[in-house]
Structure 1
């Protein structure tokens, strides 16, 4: 197999909408500046500029900023190389493979429901291909499942990671259930790192209720929208 892994764009429908709608509003606002009320034309131009800028920033975030932050997040785990790890909501595998690259004697499982709304081209086959292209397929297991009902035994993993996944659950109850499931699967002494742009304070609260020593980072501005990293360790 030839080529490099491709990890797609996060929230592709939203990015596409901004990429089309932003320039369109800019053009309409500029063209209609002479016939439309100045306030309306100005609003169209301003909104279009914001949407176009967000499309660019979100694309750069998916392609570059996220990769840098995930690498730093995995580095901070201080892995020994023989851990058993889980990536919850692994998507096309950027964090999955970043983790696998640190586990020459270990193994990482990636689990997802494979929603293409959340990531372009999201599919188990795409993740497997990326693992092959990265030369890490033998270290990776790919499963399909719901993070609210993780299909693994208690205390199964030394390390659990997740990136931009838990916020996709529709209610606070769902998200709390997923976080409690993550805590259930962690071995005593195990650690986790969850990156997200919403609800991270609730993740911290739920993990502390589950008995984990937990902290949240300062906002990280290499991604757009900016994100936080929640870290925890099980006693």
Structure 2
């Protein structure tokens, strides 16, 4: 009996979509480095040098806290913020939506669930440095588990050169993706591409923890009416959301 309960629990867990941990290498480094610093600071030699001992302990505690907060943000906080961002778009349900840097599909699938008569497209280069287990196959699997695979398309491509025609999408979204590009020029190019593929009257929402002032300025230069939110503290590091709307034709 207990074996059956355990098996059923494991099956239910495997039926849930999984979206990975953001910046897994950084989180792992914090999770290893923090306890290691605390352990080393407890050795007898460092007790003879109090300033160094307390510096190591404080640094170790900070690293441990950052590892915990970043993990909780990936597993819980980001989901709440992303859900609220999609809800704020007030989708009709028949739009064409693009998620730039879709990763394993958290934002993409939140949108797809609100598109009974539309479609959601995700594009990514599938870097596992930026998200654990990042792969097109994982995103397809999550779409199947969520029940929206029939209205989700997943592409491989560079956000600096989106493989879509001008004015292809009613809405373009992105979460924690554009900042990963190596230079400011690259990030500006990605945001210009987002504006290019957006239909007249369409809307954009870009969530990130840095570079959002640049995103807002680039969208304004592309002719969109733009607002940048207050910081959202349910994620760590905290994030801003840049929202914009393209003028109607």
TM-score (norm: length of structure 1): 0.98
**Alignment match, 1:223:** 235
Aligned residues: 235
Residue 129 to residue 36, structure 1, CA distance change in 2 (3 Å): farther
User: Runs of 4 or more off by more than 6 Å in structure 1?
Assistant: none
Return the match for 1:155 from 155, 167, 184.
Answer: 167
**Alignment match, 1:126:** 138
* 1:234 and 2:246 matched: yes
Where do residues 89-128 of structure 1 align in structure 2 (5 Å cutoff)?
89-128=101-140
**Alignment match, 1:178:** 190
Work out whether residues 41 and 47 of structure 2, in 8 Å CA contact, stay in contact via their aligned partners in 1: no
Between the aligned partners of 1:33 and 1:199, the Cα distance in structure 2 is 43
Work out whether residues 223 and 246 of structure 2, in 8 Å CA contact, stay in contact via their aligned partners in 1: yes
For residue 14 of structure 1, give the secondary structure of its aligned residue in structure 2.
helix
Residue 28 to residue 126, structure 1, CA distance change in 2 (3 Å): same
Where do residues 209-220 of structure 1 align in structure 2 (5 Å cutoff)?
209-220=221-232
Return the match for 1:15 from 19, 24, 27.
Answer: 27
Residue 180 to residue 34, structure 1, CA distance change in 2 (3 Å): closer
CA shift, 1:27, in A, is: 1.2
Structure 2 unaligned residues grouped into runs of 5+? 1-10
Work out whether residues 69 and 222 of structure 1, in 8 Å CA contact, stay in contact via their aligned partners in 2: yes
**Alignment match, 1:30:** 42
For residue 231 of structure 1, give the secondary structure of its aligned residue in structure 2.
strand
Return the match for 2:148 from 136, 156, 160.
Answer: 136
Structure 1 unaligned residues grouped into runs of 5+? none
Work out whether residues 32 and 41 of structure 1, in 8 Å CA contact, stay in contact via their aligned partners in 2: no
Work out whether residues 26 and 48 of structure 1, in 8 Å CA contact, stay in contact via their aligned partners in 2: yes
Residue 98 to residue 105, structure 1, CA distance change in 2 (3 Å): same
Which structure has the bigger radius of gyration?
2
Between the aligned partners of 1:55 and 1:80, the Cα distance in structure 2 is 39
Where do residues 183-198 of structure 1 align in structure 2 (5 Å cutoff)?
183-198=195-210
Alignment deviations for residues 101-124 of structure 1 (CA, whole Å, 9 cap, x no partner): 000000000000000000000000
For residue 80 of structure 2, give the secondary structure of its aligned residue in structure 1.
helix
**Alignment match, 1:51:** 63
Between the aligned partners of 1:169 and 1:34, the Cα distance in structure 2 is 41
**Cα RMSD, aligned residues only:** 1.1
Between the aligned partners of 1:213 and 1:32, the Cα distance in structure 2 is 61
**Alignment match, 2:99:** 87
**Alignment match, 2:90:** 78
Between the aligned partners of 1:181 and 1:25, the Cα distance in structure 2 is 44
TM-score (norm: length of structure 2): 0.93
* 1:40 and 2:46 matched: no
